[in-house]
Amino acid sequence: MSWAGPEDIYLSTSLASYLDKKLLVLLRDGRKLMGTLRSFDQFANAVLEGACERVIVGDLYCDIPLGLYVIRGENVVLIGELDLDKEELPPHMTRVSSTDIKRAQKAEREATDLKGSMRKRMEFLDLD
Amino acid sequence: MLFFSYFKDLVGREVTVELKNDLAIRGTLHSVDQYLNIKLENTRVVDQENYPHMLSVRNCFIRGSVVRYVQLPPEGVDIELLHDATRREARGG
């Protein structure tokens, strides 16, 4: 991702062609940040303006506003250009408040924990 | 540099990139750099239902360090050529 001249940024892997565009940044911990790319370097360190985190639990989602974010490059998995003409999410998904999404997140986490502990208790059965 | 040159020859071809987080993305290879960072165009996620947030992503940049596999078109692999280039590189030329 070298710094390229203005004439070939669209041909190179440089993030320069994504500057000032609305992007989706996928992080290594699975988080999804959205915002406008204002700066970057060769490590894919990036500055997002007006960043928000999109939390998705089942068919519910919520955009939690974060402000200006500097992302350390090593945490970046993927930077996607958002097609503004297309629906961002499938129509069956509903937007909920941040309290609702936090509740849903907690419920999901508890469900997975429960599944894990049940499996642990049944381990003596040698299921697989 | 061998794989960098190799991927450069594949620009414009349809590839599937599988990431370390199991996300698999298919798209046209737009460009690649020395870190094997990859830019894809006209992307679609192989398992769309589980990744609804990727629905409106058409073009994307993938950091080389998170790539597990790149699945290539069969006609894009010339084993003979790659083999020769590997030996040439190993000899330091």
- Amino acid found at A6: P
**Which of A18, A74, A83 comes nearest B58 by C-beta?**
A83
Q: What is the spatial distance between Cα A73 and Cα A82, in angstroms, rounded to a whole number? A: 20
Instruction: Determine the pLDDT at residue A127.
Output: 66
Rounded to a whole number of angstroms, the distance from the CA of A31 to the nearest CA of chain B is 11
- ipTM score of the complex? 0.88
Among the listed residues A101, A89, A15, A115, the one whose alpha carbon sits nearest the alpha carbon of residue A55: A101
DSSP string, A53-106: EEEEETTEEEEEEEEEEEE-GGGEEEEEEE-TTS-SS-TT-EE--HHHHHHHHH
Q: What is the spatial distance between Cα A113 and Cα A93, in angstroms, rounded to a whole number? A: 25
Rounded to a whole number of angstroms, the distance from the CA of B62 to the nearest CA of chain A is 5
Which 8-state DSSP code applies to residue A19? T
Residue B40 lies in domain: 2-91
Instruction: Determine the pLDDT at residue A1.
Output: 55
Instruction: Determine the pLDDT at residue B68.
Output: 97
Tell me the three state secondary structure of residue B57. Answer: strand
Instruction: Determine the pLDDT at residue B36.
Output: 95
Task: Assign residue B68 the CATH number of its domain.
Answer: 2.30.30.100
Question: What is the pTM for the complete model shown?
Answer: 0.86
Chain A residues 60-99 with CB within 8 Å of chain B: 73-74, 76-84, 86-90, 93
As a CATH number, domain A4-95 is 2.30.30.100
Q: Which residue of B has its CA nearest to A34?
A: B53
Three-state DSSP string of B15-51: EEEEECCCCEEEEEEEEECCCCCEEEEEEEECCHHHC
Number of independent structural domains in chain B: 1
Inter-chain touch A89–B53, beta carbons under 8 Å: yes
Chain A residues close to B53, C-beta within 8 Å:
24, 32, 54, 56, 88-89
Per-domain boundaries in chain A: 4-95
Mind listing the pLDDT tens digit for each residue in B19-74? 999 999 999 999 999 999 999 999 999 998 899 999 999 999 999 999 999 999 88
Check if the beta carbon of residue B63 is closer than 8 Å to that of residue A73.
yes
10-residue averages of pLDDT along chain A (128 residues): 61 91 96 96 96 93 95 97 83 90 93 90 78
Instruction: Determine the pLDDT at residue B18.
Output: 97
Scored b (16 or more CB within 10 A) or e, A8-40 reads: ebeebbbbbbbeeebbbbbbeeeebbbbebeeb
Is residue B61 within 8 angstroms of chain A, CB to CB?
Answer: yes
The Cα-based distances of B13 to A59, B43, B60 in angstroms read 35, 12, 15
